[in-house]
């Protein structure tokens, strides 16, 4: 039996250019130290119900080499493993450049791995 994706679900709504720029700006504040997923969510005031969207956008940036995954750390008295991320030099370059450059020249031309 094959499973079909629900009709009317548009995955593009999960990828938010404005949110991605905010993620990069947030990580640039902590550079060169990595920031945990919880820290990013708190800094951007992301509620629990939208953490999935935040995660998708961070992983999207990671795929384009703008964000680097730096392993997991333990939070909540060692009971919860939380990923931490760091902005890359490519990501830092894109903080300085205007938004049009970010999508036309970097994301569009950077291979997703």
- The count of domains in the chain is 1
Q: Confirm whether 55 is domain-assigned.
A: yes
Tell me the pTM. 0.73
Q: Confirm whether 110 is domain-assigned.
A: no
C-alpha to C-alpha distances, 34 to 11, 62, 69, 108, nearest whole angstrom: 28, 13, 9, 26
For the chain, list residues with pLDDT below 70. 1-13, 97-113
Q: Confirm whether 11 is domain-assigned.
A: no
Q: Which domain holds residue 86?
A: 16-104
Q: Confirm whether 28 is domain-assigned.
A: yes
> Which CATH number is 59's domain given?
1.10.10.10
Q: Confirm whether 9 is domain-assigned.
A: no
Q: Confirm whether 46 is domain-assigned.
A: yes
Q: What is the pLDDT of residues 26-47, one digit of tens each?
A: 999 998 899 999 999 999 998 8
């Amino acid at each position: 039996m094959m499973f079909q994706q629900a009709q009317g679900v548009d995955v593009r709504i999960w990828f938010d250019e404005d949110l991605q720029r905010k993620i990069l700006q947030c990580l640039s504040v902590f550079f060169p130290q990595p920031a945990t997923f919880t820290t990013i969510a708190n800094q951007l005031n992301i509620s629990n119900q939208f953490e999935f969207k935040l995660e998708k956008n961070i992983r999207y940036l990671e795929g384009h080499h703008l964000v680097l995954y730096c392993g997991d750390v333990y939070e909540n008295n060692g009971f919860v493993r939380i990923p931490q991320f760091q902005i890359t030099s490519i990501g830092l370059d894109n903080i300085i450049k205007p938004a049009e450059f970010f999508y036309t020249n970097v994301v569009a031309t950077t291979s997703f791995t």
